[in-house]
């Protein structure tokens, strides 16, 4: 069950997926509101992250989510994942 | 009989002589060398000699890409104008229902030559070309997804200049293996056929209407080095995780025909890590591209939005417009580029800047103006305007703005004018009538057609007088300015 807390705070699993694809990571742990483009995310990284997230969370990103808005920040990505998980849950009912 | 149209055929003859056993077309079941392509084409050319002298245009409507290409060469050798059309056009989507193409001769599967009853429409369009049919390389037909199928005439000098330039710019050689992913009767497919065969390369048709993921597997099997395709192929490839490892031999991957997102670039990089990627833009139905953008190999931190730029105009590009009721074309130029501003813009793009016509069209809008008729001649690229008033609502779907106006008029009881503007349809309605929708409201209208009913959302702008010309006809340019002013006012004074 995913609640509002889940929606606001990306889990550590998600941050662990994103971090290796940042070519200019800042000091300290990755923040939920970090600007991923500024941290050196590139287009290849976008796709790699989405693929890894699909595998980790069992979701499939629609083509229209394959953009930088989805990956603006870890929180933005997490909200898309939560939305996809919600849809999957509704579909299964 | 042979004239300027034989320039592609001349190059094939040259390759058939100097490298007779080089691969020209490779399919799953057949392998055609340049010599076998030429030999087969010459056999068909002999059949064509029996046609009446007045014959100018031949429709090629084969289902098999290799037959289509060989027919293309044959017609080219005969000095006639090949015309390409999707054989399924008549039966395809709802918007193709009112097909107008009636060519003189049809070459269908197995090279059967069948005479058709009338050439009225196509012939009229071809003879209206200001550069004359002697310069015609081929006529392409649009899919018709925006309404009536349109015919695009590419000139031989223009195509040859384009080929020579592209070979220099992108280093295409006879060692390349080109994927023919776009269907062969489309503008993109035709340009790819010309580029591959004119450079002595091998062309590998891998267009499959039912299996898009087919591409990845075949591209690996055949060692594809060059591919120009629609971005949506990448979306399909993304899902095809069973297709195996990357395409290491692919050295040029070019996109065109639709907007390209950075996300798609990322997928493409995974599929083809060594490839240089190029985004190209050719205004609708032009056979080739008029601007291009070399996508940087490292893009970390540089991409600001969702779509990839389409770059700057290619050298020697010019755009021309043909307006209804005029003979010849008039050149259009754009400010700030190598195309300075001129007096006569083409229809649907009046007073717009280059950026609006190019990049603006590639940002995913809800509604967009659609369709142009393009051709090139004398080495220059041209674009002719369209006469109808369609607005594309999505791929394959469109509405006629005249129909929108009629439907709104039925609701309001007064005349209305509508335009497509920045992703929306705006309707100017007379505000004096009590049945008139509220200003700034969204109003749904149902557009009925024999094929399909469409619900269209219009943004209503009330006005006291509809903008009409002196002759009493709708003045859509003023209409656009009123809409612009209303939008600006709302932004300033919400």
B301 touches chain A (CB under 8 A): yes
More confident site: B341 or B187: B187
* A44: chain B residues, CB-CB within 8 Å: 266, 269-270
pTM across the whole model: 0.70
Q: Which of A43-57, B97-111, B375-389, B402-416 has the lowest mean pLDDT?
A: B97-111
B240 touches chain A (CB under 8 A): no
pLDDT of residue B335: 27
B218 falls in which pLDDT band (50, 70, 90)? confident
Answer whether B363's CB lies under 8 Å from A67's CB: no
pLDDT of residue A34: 92
Chain A with chain B: Cβ pairs closer than 8 A: 65
CB contact under 8 A, B300 and A46: no
CB contact under 8 A, A68 and B265: no
For B96-154, the pLDDT digits (tens) are 333 343 444 555 544 545 444 333 444 444 444 444 445 667 766 655 444 444 555 66
CB contact under 8 A, A46 and B270: no
* B366: chain A residues, CB-CB within 8 Å: none
- Chain B, nearest residue to A35 by Cα: B301
Please check the confidence at residue A89 and state whether its pLDDT lies above 50: yes
- Chain B, nearest residue to A44 by Cα: B266
CB contact under 8 A, A24 and B300: yes
Question: Tokens 């990956």, residue?
Answer: A71
* B238: chain A residues, CB-CB within 8 Å: 47, 63, 66
Q: What is the mean pLDDT of residues B283-294?
A: 68
More confident site: A25 or B60: A25
Best mutation site among B238, B263, B264 for testing chain A: the one with the most A CBs within 10 Å? B263
CB contact under 8 A, A44 and B305: no
More confident site: B163 or B101: B163
Model-level ipTM above the cut of 0.90: no
pLDDT of residue B171: 93
Best mutation site among A20, A47, A61 for testing chain B: the one with the most B CBs within 10 Å? A47
* A38: chain B residues, CB-CB within 8 Å: 301
For A42-60, the pLDDT digits (tens) are 888 888 898 899 989 988 8
pLDDT of residue B332: 46
B299 touches chain A (CB under 8 A): yes
Please check the confidence at residue B408 and state whether its pLDDT lies above 60: yes
Which DSSP category does A20 fall into? G
CA-wise closest residue to B477 among B320, B338, B345, B350: B350
A40 touches chain B (CB under 8 A): yes
Return the top range by mean pLDDT from B5-14, B204-213, B389-398.
B5-14
Q: Nearest CA of chain B to the CA of A22: how many Å?
A: 9
pLDDT of residue B447: 78
pLDDT of residue B65: 77
A41 touches chain B (CB under 8 A): yes
pLDDT of residue A3: 41
* B303: chain A residues, CB-CB within 8 Å: 37, 42-43, 68
CB contact under 8 A, A68 and B263: yes
pLDDT of residue B436: 65
Q: Which residues of B46-64 are buried (b: 16+ CB within 10 A; e: fewer)?
A: eebeebeeebbbbbbbbee
Q: Is B487 exposed, middle or buried (0-12, 13-18, 19+ CB in 10 A)?
A: middle
- In sequence order, the 6+-apart residues with CB closer than 8 A to the CB of A23 are A39, A40, A41, A42, A45, B300, B301
CB atoms within 10 A of CB B340: 9
Among partner residues B235, B262, B305, which is closest to A43 by beta-carbon distance? B262
pLDDT of residue B263: 82
């Amino acid at each position: 069950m995913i609640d509002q807390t889940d929606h606001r705070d990306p889990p550590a699993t998600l941050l662990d997926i994103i971090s290796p694809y940042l070519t200019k990571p800042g000091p300290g742990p990755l923040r939920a509101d970090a600007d991923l483009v500024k941290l050196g995310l590139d287009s290849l990284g976008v796709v790699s992250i989405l693929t890894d997230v699909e595998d980790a969370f069992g979701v499939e990103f629609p083509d229209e989510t394959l953009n930088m808005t989805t990956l603006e920040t870890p929180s933005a990505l997490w909200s898309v994942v939560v939305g996809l998980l919600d849809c999957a849950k509704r579909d299964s009912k | 009989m042979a004239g300027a149209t034989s320039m592609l055929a001349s190059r094939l003859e040259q390759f058939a002589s100097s490298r007779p056993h080089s691969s020209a077309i490779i399919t799953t079941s057949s392998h055609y060398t340049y010599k076998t392509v030429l030999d087969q084409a010459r056999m068909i050319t002999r059949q064509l000699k029996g046609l009446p002298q007045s014959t100018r245009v031949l429709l090629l409507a084969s289902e098999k890409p290799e037959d289509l290409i060989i027919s293309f060469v044959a017609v080219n050798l005969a000095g006639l104008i090949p015309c390409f059309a999707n054989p399924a056009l008549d039966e395809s989507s709802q918007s193709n229902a009112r097909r107008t193409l009636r060519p003189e001769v049809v070459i269908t599967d197995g090279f059967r030559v069948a005479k058709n009853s009338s050439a009225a429409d196509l012939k009229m369009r071809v003879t209206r070309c200001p550069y004359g049919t002697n310069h015609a390389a081929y006529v392409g037909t649009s899919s018709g997804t925006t309404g009536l199928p349109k015919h695009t005439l590419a000139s031989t000098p223009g195509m040859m200049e384009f080929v020579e330039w592209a070979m220099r710019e992108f280093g295409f050689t006879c060692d390349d293996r080109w994927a023919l992913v776009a269907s062969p009767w489309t503008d993109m497919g035709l340009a790819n056929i010309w580029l591959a065969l004119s450079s002595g390369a091998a062309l590998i048709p891998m267009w499959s209407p039912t299996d898009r993921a087919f591409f990845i597997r075949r591209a690996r099997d055949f060692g594809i080095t060059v591919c120009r395709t629609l971005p949506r192929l990448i979306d399909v490839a993304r899902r095809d995780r069973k297709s195996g490892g990357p395409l290491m031999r692919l050295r040029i991957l070019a996109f065109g025909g639709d907007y390209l997102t950075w996300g798609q670039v990322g997928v493409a990089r995974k599929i083809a890590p060594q490839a240089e990627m190029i985004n190209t833009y050719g205004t609708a139905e032009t056979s080739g591209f008029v601007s291009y953008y070399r996508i940087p190999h490292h893009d970390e931190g540089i991409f600001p939005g969702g779509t990839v730029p389409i770059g700057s105009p290619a050298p020697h590009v010019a755009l021309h417009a043909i307006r209804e009721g005029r003979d010849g074309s008039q050149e259009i130029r754009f400010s700030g580029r190598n195309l300075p501003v001129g007096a006569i813009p083409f229809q649907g793009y009046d007073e717009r800047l280059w950026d609006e016509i190019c990049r603006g069209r590639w940002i995913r809008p809800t509604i967009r103006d659609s369709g142009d008729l393009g051709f090139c001649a004398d080495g220059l690229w041209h674009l002719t305007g369209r006469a109808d008033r369609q607005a594309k609502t999505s791929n394959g779907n469109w509405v006629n703005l005249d129909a929108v106006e009629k439907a709104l008029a039925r609701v309001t009881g007064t005349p209305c004018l509508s335009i497509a503007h920045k992703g929306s349809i705006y309707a100017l309605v007379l505000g004096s009538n009590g049945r008139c929708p509220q200003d700034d409201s969204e109003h749904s209208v149902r557009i009925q057609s024999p094929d399909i009913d469409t619900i269209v959302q219009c943004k209503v702008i009330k006005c006291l007088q509809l903008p009409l010309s002196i002759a009493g006809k709708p003045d859509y340019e003023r209409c656009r300015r009123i809409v612009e002013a209303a939008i600006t006012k709302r932004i300033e004074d919400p």
